[in-house]
Structures are given as C-alpha cells and as structure tokens.
Amino acid sequence: MTAGRENGDAGRPEIHRGNGRTFVALAVAAAIPVLLLSGWVATLMAQQQRGLTRSAAVASAARVAERVASDIATQVAVLRAEAASASLDRPDLAAFYAEAERLRLEHPLWETVELAGPDGVQVVNLLRSLDDELGPTADRASFDAVVRTGRPVVGGIGPLGPISGKRLVALRVPVVRDGTLRYVLSVGLATNAVSSILRDAGAPEGWVGTIVDAAGNTIARTRAEAEELGHPAGAALLAAIRRAPQGFYTGSTLEGPDVEVVYRTLKDTGGWSVHFGMPVATLNAPVSRSYLVLAGGSVLSIGLGLALVGLVGRDMAQRRAGERARFALALRSSEEQGAVAAEAAELGTLRWDTAEETVTASRRAAELLGWEAEVPEGREMTADADIAFRAVDAGDRERMAAEVRRSLGEGVPLDVEFRVFRANSASRWVRLTGRAPRLQNEDPAVLVYGVVSDIEPRKRAEAERLDLLRRLGEAQENEQRRIARELHDQVGQTVTGLSLGLKGLERLLDAQGGSAEAGRQIQWLQRLAGEVGRDIHRAAVDLRPTALDDLGLREALATLLREWGQRHGVRSDLEFVGEAARLPAAVESAVYRIVQEALTNVLKHARAATVSVCVDRRPDEVQVIIEDDGVGFEPGSSSAPSLGRTPTEPRLGLSGIRERLTLLNGTLTLEATPGVGTTLFVRIPVAPAA
C-alpha cells in the first residue's frame, strides 16, 4: 500500500506538467489565428478605405464633368439663340454687332464674338470695329468642322489669334437660312475662363484638375495654369484617353509626386476630357501600413507555430505508448464486432492470396462455397485456390476469374454472382463482393478481401418472374395471332361482301335509271368500305403479320419498313448480313416487335428523314442495328430517353424492349448525339444450327 501511494504521488507531478504543457499549447494555438486574423482584418479595412476613396474620386469627377459639360452646353445654347437673330436675316451687321456686344457684357467668360462667312473670312469681331479689315478666322480646324457637318462644334485651344493676340477656345454654331450656310457664329473663350469653369464646378480640395481637348492639348488647369496651357498632355493621359472614355491611370505632375488620375470624357464637347489626380502615396498609405501589420503578425505567428510544434511533439511522444495499447485493444474489439455482425447477417468472409494461391474462409463462407471439409465454430479454414474454383459451377468459372483479375489489375471493387456446385444437391447462387487494396499505387494487388452472401432466394424469384414474363409474352403473341386471323377471315370477308353488294346495287341503279345523287351515295359507301377493309388489314398485320409465320423475318421486316415508310413519308432501308437460315420463332418475334417499337419512337420523337435497319446473323448470336438521323439527345442526361425521345419523357419504349431481351438473355446498347441521330444495338444469343 505504501509503495502504491508513493508511485501515485510521484505520478501527480507528471500529470501537472502534462496539463501545463497542454494549457500553453492551447494558448499558443489560440494566439496564432488571432494574430493572422487581426492583420488580415487591418488589410481588408485598408483596402476597403482605398476603394471608398477611389469611388469618391469617381463620383467627384463625374459631378465636375457634368458641371463643366453643362456650362459649355449653356454657352453653346446662348450662341445658337443668337444665330437665329433676325438681324442676320437681312443681314443687318450693325444691329448684330450691338446685340453681340450686349451678350458679351452679360457673359464675362466671353473674350470676343466673331461672325465669318463660309470661306473663313471674318465679317464681325467685337475686338474690332465694323469698318476694319479682319482677315481669316484663327482656329480653322473647328471652323471647317462646322462648315462640313452643319452642326455646333466645341473646338480645342487654338493658335495665337492675329486680332486677340491670345490662344482662345472657340465655340462655333452655323447660321443657316433657307437651308444654306450663310455664316459661322463663334465665341472665343479665354483659357483662364475655362479654368474658372473648372474651379467653379466644385473640384475637390487638394486635387490637381486638368481639362484636355480632343487633340490632347491642355485647355484648363487648377494649378500651374500658365506653364501648362496649350501644351500637349503627358503620354499616360493620351494613352488612357485612347484606351477608354473614362477610368483610372497613374502618371506624374509638375508638382513632383506620382498621382493616380480619374478621368471622364465630357459629353457634347467634341472630345474634351476632365482629369483629377490624387497622390499615390496618400492613397496607398493605409494599405502599406496594413501590409506591415500583416507581415509582423505573420512572423510572430511563425515563431509561435514553431513553439507549438515543439510542445505538441513532446506531448505526442509521451502519449504514443499509451495510444498503441488502446489501438490494439480497439482493433481486437472491432474484429470481434465485425465477426458478430457477419454471423448475424449470415455472411461469410474470405481472404484470397493470389501470390500464395490460397483462400482463407470463415465457417459460413466455406459452407456457402460448398467446401466439403467441416470448419469448427469461430475458426477459419485455408485451402488451395483450385478448391475454390472447383466449387464454382463450370459455366461461371471463367466469368468469376475474369472479375477477380480485373479487380486486382484495375483496383475496382469486386462484385460477381455465380453458382456453387454441390455434389448432393442442385447448384446454389451466391454473391462475392470485396476489394483488392494496394500497399502502394505502383504495386499490383495480391490480396482480395471479400464477403460471401446467399442470393439463391432472389435468383429463384427472378427466374419465376422471367418464366411469368415468357408465358405472358407467348400468350400475348397467341392472342394477337388469333385476333389477327379473326379480323382477316371474318371481318375482312364481311367487308369484302359489303363492297361486292354495293357494286351490284350500283349496276342495278344504272340499269333502272336511278338518280345521280343515289349513285354518288353508293360510290361514297364503296370508298368507305374499301378504307375499312384496308384499315382492318393493316390492324391485322400490326397484330401478327402473316409474313412472319409464313415467309420469315426478312420478308416481314421488308414489308413493315416499306409500308411504314410509304405511310409516313420517311425513307427506310433494310439489310441482312450473314446466314439466311430461319431463326427460332421466339427470336424472330422479338426482333420484329423491337423494330416495330423503335419505328414508333422514331415517328413520335426523332423527326428523322431516314431510318436504317441491319440484321446481322452470326453463328452464336443475332445483332440488330436500328439507326435514324433525327434530333438525338444527350446520353449523359440523368434520364436517358428511348430512341429519339426527349430526356423529360418516360422510357416506356426502352422498357418494353429490355423486357423482351431479358427473356432471351439479350442486351441493348444505346448511342446518341444531339442533332445527329440515335442508334440502337441489340444482341440476342442464338444456339448454333445443328
């Protein structure tokens, strides 16, 4: 007792130290995501602030651009109103001079008003009297644009004017009378006037604003106006204008620092654009600081992570011995639980070693596989692989071996059903499912772990169902044959007698001089009787074609395709390949009904122009290929349609075809391409002819 107490007291410090290390590790693990999250949040907020600043810059540029464009549009509107003055109808140049002088006094931004003829020679300029020789206008490019288009033009900054002695910005409108251009009326705005428009439009404090004309020359600027007016703008600005009518670009200014510029093209100004620059350092300062915070947090997190790895490694090394013991106990418990579950479900387990060519099976597996040796309860039995193969029915051995090889070679799950041969009783169906795990991807698997289950009741139920379907199919064919014979022999003869009677009545009326109306009625009844007879014949053929029983499958299909194609206007062709011998009656009936169902689906859904049917008679099977050039469908859809059917419609045609093929151990393969067509491949095994 004393020794046990001493050992317990000695173990308590170890427990306390382990708990302390766990607490420190948890604290470090909690600190790492907090540091990273803090840095990430700071970066996100800084980027969001930068985005808000850019959005505010876009909104401010749009507002200023609208104000400047509106102001220019107002100046043009006043000028257009003056162009409609009655003093220019006569014209009365003295009266026009007085009106223009009054307008110039009302608009302080106007430097002068000029009136020029279509040849460009000035007639009136408020900077000179009416009697002076004025000469040609200064900005010839904008003047020629008005003469060419007959519309108002906002020009750029012009050359040095011979009269004003300044570089003016021209606003020009045409003066048209009786559809003829008489004059061009212009207003010259001084560059400082355009700059005042820019400043009055509400440019943000501290931003550098610039207006550039269509030629890329500076018209107005909020700073260093005298140094920049009339000079070409920078390369970054010109490239941005050529790239898009609005957006952002980065450039440099006369003031020194780099700026990020937001710009917009002004409406109805002939290509003017307004630009506002924000210092890049100021815009990116919050983001740079957040990156420093994130980098510092990352370095600290790495250090804490290394410390955490050391703590966790020491703790894991101390706990590993105890975990091994618990894992061994859990493994034994899991194996016992698996054995109990397998016994409860009446399943057998086996392990197939392909390298040693041995099979180790549980007692239930050995019983299901038909091994003759007795296996004690709760024990396993190991036998040669040949014993396992000899227990399999001879007809299923090759198929089972192929499935095992495929599972070993490709690593796919094993799932195969086969019959087990029993010496004293009938063979019994079992199912083997399992896997072939690989130790490494490049190494082939050598072990198969599987579960054996008894599926004899299910197979017996399937056999009974197939027998019922076979008898129902035979009864249906016999009943259709009887109905077809009744229609042809009795109803058809009655309709024929009716037609003959109507023909005799027609001759009797002609002999007695009957009325023309009675003759027409009898002829109508004769046509009706003929149509009824043809419908009865067609129904009888659809139910059970006599050619199928009398002449065989080739003639029956030829008649079916010919009449179907003529009736519905679809081209059809038939080809027989291989032996010409008759097939068994059940196979011929199934092939005929499958082709009949496929043609029905083509007519309903495929919208095809051509249908081809090929029957290939081989020694051990018959293959039928039915192909159309209709709309097709997508094979990968979740609801694969029948021939020509849209994916959303039920697959009744395919269900009927598959049921017929199930009775004959046949298979159906469907291939389709949207817009190209659909093809059915039918294979039915046939015993070789004697």
Q: What percent of the chain has pLDDT over 90?
A: 4
In the prediction, which pLDDT does 33 show? 72
Note the pLDDT of residue 653: 67
**Mean predicted confidence (pLDDT) in 430-447:** 74
Q: Which residue has the higher pLDDT, 603 or 47?
A: 603
* CB 66, CB 274: distance < 8 Å: no
On the question of pLDDT at 120 being above 80, the answer is yes
DSSP states of 579-636? --SPPPHHHHHHHHHHHHHHHHHIIIII--SEEEEEEEE-SSEEEEEEEE-S----TT
Q: Pseudo-torsion of CA 24, 29, 35, 38, nearest 10°?
A: -120
pLDDT category at 635 given cuts 50, 70, 90 is low
- What pLDDT score was predicted for residue 538? 65
**pLDDT the model gives residue 288:** 63
- Residue 683: the pLDDT is 92
Report residue 97's pLDDT band, with 50, 70 and 90 as the boundaries: confident
Q: Report pLDDT for 611.
A: 93
The model's confidence at residue 690, banded by pLDDT at 50, 70 and 90, is very low
Place 644 in a pLDDT band, splitting at 50, 70 and 90: very low
Average pLDDT over residues 91-111: 84
The whole-model pTM stands at 0.37
| H or E stretch at 416 | strand 414-420
In this prediction, residues 294-321 reach a mean pLDDT of 68
Question: pLDDT grade, residue 4 (50/70/90)?
Answer: very low
Is the separation of the CB atoms in 403 and 409 below 8 Å?
no
- The reported pLDDT for the residue numbered 639 is 40
**pLDDT per residue over 473-498, tens digit each?**
667 666 766 676 666 566 666 767 77
Q: What pLDDT digit, counting tens, does each position of 66-95 carry?
A: 888 888 888 888 888 888 888 888 888 888
CA distances from 147 to 86, 116, 122, 141, 152 (A): 21, 11, 14, 10, 10
- What is the mean pLDDT of the segment spanning 542-556? 72
Q: Are 373 and 366 in contact (CB under 8 A)?
A: yes
Report the mean per-residue pLDDT for the chain: 75
Pure H helices in 345-362: none
Q: Does residue 542 register a pLDDT over 70?
A: no
- Give yes or no for residue 682 having a pLDDT over 90: yes
Cα 351–Cα 357–Cα 361 angle in degrees, nearest 5? 30
**How far lies 344's CA from each of 141, 450, 650, in Å?**
100, 17, 41
Tens digit of pLDDT for each residue in 214-252? 777 887 777 766 666 667 777 777 787 788 888 878 777
Provide the pLDDT confidence category of residue 11 given band limits of 50, 70 and 90. very low
- Report the range out of 2-6, 17-21, 153-157, 303-307 with the highest average pLDDT: 153-157
| pLDDT (mean) for 158-187 | 83
Tell me the mean pLDDT in the region 274-286: 69
Q: What is the mean pLDDT of residues 262-283?
A: 76
Determine the Cα–Cα distance for residues 101 and 82; give it in Å rounded to an integer. 12
Closest CA to 217 of 141, 286, 165: 141
d(CA 93, CA 309): 96
Long-range contacts of 281-289 (CB under 8 A, 24+ apart): 281/257, 283/50, 283/53, 283/54, 284/50, 286/45, 286/46, 286/49, 286/50, 287/43, 287/46, 287/47, 287/50, 289/42, 289/46
Residue-level pLDDT at 168: 82
Are the beta carbons of 278 and 258 closer than 8 angstroms? Answer: no
Q: Which of 631, 537, 642 is nearest to 594 (CA)?
A: 642
Residues 124-146 have a mean pLDDT of: 83
d(CA 411, CA 416): 15
pLDDT tier at 345, thresholds 50, 70, 90: very low
Average pLDDT over residues 599-619: 88
> In this structure, are residues 222 and 207 in contact, taking their beta carbons and an 8 Å threshold?
yes
Mean pLDDT on 411-428: 78
Total count of residues recorded for the chain: 690
Instruction: Read off the pLDDT band of 448 (50, 70, 90).
Output: confident
- The CA-based diameter of the chain, rounded to the nearest angstrom, is 143
pLDDT of 333 higher than 60? no
DSSP sequence for 529-572? HHHHHHHHHHHHHHH--HHHHHT-HHHHHHHHHHHHHHHHT-EE
Interatomic CA distance for residues 254 and 221, integer angstroms: 12
Q: What is the DSSP letter of 443?
A: S
- At residue 625 the predicted structure's pLDDT band, cuts being 50, 70 and 90, is very high
pLDDT band at 191 (very low <50, low <70, confident <90, very high): low
Q: 């397998």: which residue's tokens?
A: 342
Residue 287 pLDDT: 62
With a CB cutoff of 8 Å and minimum separation 6, the contacts of 584 are 686
